[in-house]
DNA sequence: TAGATTGTTAATCGATTAACAATC
DNA sequence: TAGATTGTTAATCGATTAACAATC
């Protein structure tokens, strides 16, 4: 086995559910019980974890705090990559307000927009800066990741610019796939809310047996 | 093969890319060219489509307009399921402003919140209604889907209530999995923005070969 | 008809599950 | 030690790809 995207998403789930256990003061968990909690097989959990190392102990299970820290390291959460948000409209602002960046491995260091009526306004502790200054900002602060909340038809162009300014990761909320970038050492997570909603539409219009609903 | 979630998501992609082709005035597309456009194999496209019917023609390819309509029907897009949004905070408001519901198979018929300072305010053409009136509203208008933008710890409780009021589909933006509902004929699309961001963190922290980046 | 391209089967590949020996 | 539970291999399952006959 190798680290495929589904495995990574499961690791995130494990990470979060461990937090719940730790909050509840639970010190150890067996793969069998964890599997019940997560609604998957114990085999899969052990398989997933074992790819990265030996985090458990026979006859005991997994130590919640240790495993949580180990998974955090694997997921690179403690690295807090410096990040900029491009596009401070409704969605961009909502993300700033709604997402706990630090807890997910990033630190938001700048918010940019090109609309004059938005530049200078505040979202949380961030003042929206003019896109005109993006180049100088990147040269100085070297953000490694960018959140794209720009209009669809600007996506590619903005991404290209940012790649040239050293950005290596994109959290893409536009409805375009960012693909031209893949050839380089650039990583992209396309969110595609439209596809997500349309998937729900299909599920509702063609009610499926519960076994298939795990998305 | 059977309709698994990955297949449905690909159908959504085909649907959207067909729109681009149609806009460009292109009448026919061969699976081979479509595959290049989408960055996947022609075999997979034909396999996916053939599960639902014979939409192509040997020696010709696929008629873009016909295939688009056929996929729309499969995805249930024309059904425009009546939908309510629960939670008109930042994220909820951003979704109302940002998402083209009708184009994705839903019609937004109500927006609800329990915060007195939000009730009565307007988002687009929707006046935020008080959650206190949700029961009466559902009995009268029978929404089939709900968008959950409530605080995490209210997710399960709100969802339970809505299920009892006849809601059959959830687009869930809370960070909890909605699982207790699966046993019934209820469908859920969990968005999990946190996991999405953490996945990007892992990709950035452990740069992978491009082949694995297709999420 | 000849060329093109689908529809469909068979082969491959990868991911999940089951089973059990190792070991705490 | 005995019981429990992991780590790991082997078996199963499902999804993707390749190949080619059918056919427009």
Helix (H, G, I), strand (E, B) or coil at B209: coil
Residues 6+ apart with CB under 8 A from A67: A14, A18, A49, A55, A56
Residue B160 distance to chain A (closest CA, Å): 17
Q: Among B104, B185, B212, select the one facing A207 at the smallest CB separation.
A: B185
Q: Specify the pLDDT at position B183.
A: 63
For range B118-142, the mean pLDDT: 97
On chain C, which bases lie within 7 A of the protein's CB atoms? 2-9, 14-19, 22-24
Top-confidence residue, A210 or A186? A186
Q: SS3 of B139, please?
A: helix
The two structure tokens encoding residue B71: 């996929």
The pLDDT score that the predictor gives to residue B210 is: 43
Query: Which residues between 97 and 136 in chain B have a beta carbon less than 8 angstroms from any beta carbon of chain A?
Result: 97-101, 103-106
Query: Across residues A19-31, what is the average pLDDT?
Result: 97
Chain-chain contact of B205 with A179 (C-beta, under 8 angstroms): no
Mean local confidence (pLDDT), B7-13: 97
* Distance CA A175 to C1' D21 in A: 39
B70 in contact with A, Cβ within 8 Å: no
CA-to-CA distance for B62 and B70, rounded, in angstroms? 11
Specify the pLDDT at position A183.
62
Over residues A187-213, the pLDDT tens digits come to 999 999 999 999 999 999 998 544 444
User: What string of DSSP letters covers A16-60?
Assistant: HHHHHHHHTT--EE-HHHHHHHHTS-HHHHHHHHHTT---EETTT
Closest CA to A105 of B79, B200, B162, B53: B200
List the single best residue of B107, B143, B189, B193 to mutate versus A (max A Cβ within 10 A).
B189
Distance A76 CA to D12 C1' (A): 34
Helix (H) or strand (E) holding A155: helix A155-164
Residue B5 Cα, gap to closest chain A Cα (Å): 6
* End-to-end alpha carbon distance in chain A: 21
Least CB-CB distance to B76: which of A100, A205, A214? A205
Rounded to the nearest angstrom, the minimum Cα separation between A33 and chain B is 16
Q: Do B196 and A11 touch (CB under 8 A)?
A: no
Mean pLDDT of chain B: 93
Q: Which residues contact A186 (CB under 8 A, 6 or more apart)?
A: A163, A168, A169, A170
Distance from CA of B134 to the nearest CA of A (A): 21
pTM for the model stands at 0.93
Nearest CB partner across the interface for B198, out of A105, A175, A206: A105
With a cut of 70, say whether residue B56 has pLDDT above it.
yes
Torsion of CA A210, B1, B3, B7, to 10 degrees: 130
CA nearest to nucleotide D2 C1': residue: A59
pLDDT above 90: residue B58:
yes
Q: CB-based burial of residue B146 (10 Å sphere; 0-12 exposed, 13-18 middle, 19+ buried)? A: buried
CA of B14 to C1' of D19 (A): 24
User: Could you report the per-residue pLDDT of A61-102, keeping only the tens digit for each?
Assistant: 999 999 999 999 999 999 999 999 999 999 999 999 999 999
Are B147 and B124 in contact by the 8 Å Cβ rule? The answer is no
Which residue has the least CA–C1' distance to nucleotide D22?
B58
Q: How far is C-alpha B165 from the geometric centre of its chain's CA atoms?
A: 22
Identify the residue whose Cα has the smallest distance to the C1' of D6: A58
Tell me, what's the pLDDT at A180? 65
pLDDT of residue B115: 97
pLDDT of A1 reads 47
Q: Which residue has the tokens 């997921």?
A: A75
Evaluate if residue B212 carries a pLDDT over 60: no
Whether B214 has a pLDDT exceeding 50, the answer reads no
Residue from the list B104, B183, B200 with its beta carbon closest to the beta carbon of A187: B200
Given strand A61-63, what is the order of strands in its sheet? Answer: A28-29, A61-63, A56-57
User: Which tens digits make up the pLDDT trace of B63-72?
Assistant: 999 999 999 9
β-pair type (A81-86, A145-148): parallel
Torsions phi, psi for B62 (to 5 deg): -115, 140
- Model pLDDT, residue A114: 97
Query: Averaged over B156-181, what is the pLDDT?
Result: 92
> What are the DSSP E strand ranges found in B37-105?
56-57, 61-63, 81-86
In order, the DSSP letters of A62-122 are: EEHHHHHHHHHHHHTGGG-EEEEEE--SHHHHHHHHH--TGGGTEEEEEEEE--TTTTT-E
Look up the protein residue whose alpha carbon has the minimum distance to the C1' of C22: A58
pLDDT tens string A32-71? 999 999 999 999 999 999 999 999 999 999 999 999 999 9
Confidence of residue A215 (pLDDT cuts 50, 70, 90): very low
Going across the sheet that includes A122-123, the strands are: A122-123, A126-130, A106-113, A81-86, A145-148, A169-172, A187-190
What local confidence, expressed as pLDDT, does residue B93 receive? 97
**What pLDDT, on the 0 to 100 scale, is given for residue B208?**
55
Q: What local confidence, expressed as pLDDT, does residue B2 receive?
A: 57
Cα→Cα distances B117→A126, B120, B129, Å: 24, 8, 11
Q: Is the pLDDT of residue B182 over 90?
A: no
Q: Which of residues 136-155 of B touch A (CB under 8 A)?
A: 144-145
pLDDT of amino acid A208:
55
Nearest alpha carbon to residue B56 among B32, B74, B21, B36? B32
**Torsion angle, alpha carbons of A181, B42, A9, A37, to 10:** 170
Which helix (H) or strand (E) element contains residue A198? helix A193-205
pLDDT per residue as tens digits for the range A122-153: 999 999 999 999 999 999 999 999 999 999 99
């Amino acid at each position: 086995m190798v680290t495929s995207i589904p495995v990574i998403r499961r690791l995130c789930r494990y990470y979060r559910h461990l937090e719940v256990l730790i909050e509840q003061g639970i010190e150890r968990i067996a793969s069998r019980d964890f599997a019940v909690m997560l609604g998957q097989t114990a085999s899969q959990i052990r398989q997933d974890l074992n790819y990265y190392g030996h985090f458990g102990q026979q006859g005991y299970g997994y130590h919640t705090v240790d495993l949580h820290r180990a998974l955090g390291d694997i997921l690179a959460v403690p690295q807090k990559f410096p990040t900029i948000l491009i596009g401070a409209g409704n969605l961009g602002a909502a993300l700033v307000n709604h997402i706990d960046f630090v807890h997910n491995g990033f630190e938001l260091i700048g918010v940019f927009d090109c609309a004059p009526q938005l530049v200078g306004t505040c979202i949380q502790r961030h003042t929206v800066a003019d896109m005109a200054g993006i180049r100088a900002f990147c040269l100085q602060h070297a953000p490694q990741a960018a959140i794209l909340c720009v209009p669809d038809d600007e996506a590619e162009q903005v991404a290209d610019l940012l790649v040239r300014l050293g950005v290596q990761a994109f959290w893409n909320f536009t409805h375009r796939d960012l693909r031209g970038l893949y050839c380089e050492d650039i990583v992209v997570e396309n969110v595609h809310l439209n596809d997500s909603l349309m998937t729900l539409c299909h599920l509702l219009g063609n009610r499926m047996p519960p076994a298939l609903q795990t998305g």
